[in-house]
Amino acid sequence: MRGAWLQPGFRAQAVLVDRDVRPRWANGQAAAAARCNDAPMGPDWRVVLPWVGLAAMVAVLPFYLASGLVAPLWAIIALLLSWAALFYLGVRWRRTRPYLVLALPVAAMAWWFLVLTAGEAWLGWTA
């Protein structure tokens, strides 16, 4: 469309540009009040709750480590790998699914209980 303005019938259109880019208020105090809200801010739960969930995952870890009293070595290694996978999932979900991170410690505890109960009932694991 180069040189379109040379074509007959072309109408130039006026473009209005606001050259005043300064704020509409005059004093700096009004500008600061417009930028900053003095209302008290609470914590951003989407940032706090994933860390609570990860801390709870660390609190579940001693249960996995103490499984050596009941389970054989291969089961302890499998349990620790499953805990590490759940912890990694929590770290990955920290930003994208922050509320689901809170469910991971509950799922980890349920998985630990399920594995030890099934091992005791069907595989004869005893303390």
DSSP string, 94-106: HHH-TTGGGHHHH
Our CA angle for 43, 62, 122, nearest 5°, is: 125
- Is residue 108 situated within a structural domain? yes
Structural domain of 89: 45-122
Q: Number of folded domains in the chain? A: 1
| Residue at 29: amino acid letter | Q
Q: What is the pLDDT of residues 59-113, one digit of tens each?
A: 999 999 999 999 999 999 999 999 999 999 999 999 999 999 999 999 999 999 9
**Backbone angle region of 107, left / alpha / beta, with phi > 0 → left and psi within -120 to 50 → alpha:** alpha
Q: Please tell me the predicted confidence (pLDDT) of residue 121.
A: 94
- Is residue 55 situated within a structural domain? yes
CB-CB contact of 85 with 110 (8 Å): no
CB-CB contact of 50 with 87 (8 Å): no
* pTM tops 0.85: no
- Is residue 40 situated within a structural domain? no
Q: Is the pLDDT of residue 116 over 60?
A: yes
Q: What is the mean pLDDT of the chain?
A: 82
- Is residue 80 situated within a structural domain? yes
